[in-house]
Amino acid sequence: MSLQELYQEIILDHGRHPRNFGPLPESTHSAAGYNPLCGDRVHLYMKVQEDQIQDIAFEGAGCAICMASASLMTERLRGEPAQTALATFTEMQATLTGERDTSDDLGDLACLAGVRQFPSRIKCALLPWHALREALTGSPEEAPCPSRS
């Protein structure tokens, strides 16, 4: 089996059987994303304590690429510090848009790097990651105080 085929298998497996799929009742952070080009919808939930992602889950419906990306993301980020999650977002974005050549350091996430050959699917793969960043950086705790007028 070639590496390409192995990556294909991982995506199909996670696309069909997404890990960490479902609501997270004790979530402290959440965000939703929608990709109108493909119809993908992802709602991401996280329980973050002391800047660490204690738990993470998602709901939604979409193509195999989107579901696999969300599934792989939750597997990767559970237990990680929020800063690491944001750094991984930046790496994934750069990898999928072709800004960086290597995906060797991404582990299982590297299987998503192949989508950069298919520009219309890049949004599918990045949708859960954008929701991640929004959930982490747009959280009520960190939002600036509303300006008084």
Contacts with Zn ion by CB under 5 A lie at: 38, 40, 63, 66, 124
**Of 49 and 97, CB closest to Zn ion:** 97
In sequence order, the 6+-apart residues with CB closer than 8 A to the CB of 11 are: 64, 65, 68, 111, 112
Closest approach, Cβ 1 to Zn ion, in A, equals 25
**Of 66 and 113, CB closest to Zn ion:** 66
Closest approach, Cβ 40 to Zn ion, in A, equals 4
**Of 53 and 74, CB closest to Zn ion:** 74
Q: Which two tokens stand for residue 34?
A: 């929608």
116 closest CA partner among 125, 108, 105: 125
Closest approach, Cβ 120 to Zn ion, in A, equals 8
Distance, CA of 35 to CA of 32 (rounded, Å):
10
| Alpha helix segments (H runs only) across 20-148 | 64-77, 82-96, 119-137
Closest approach, Cβ 37 to Zn ion, in A, equals 7
**Of 29 and 121, CB closest to Zn ion:** 121
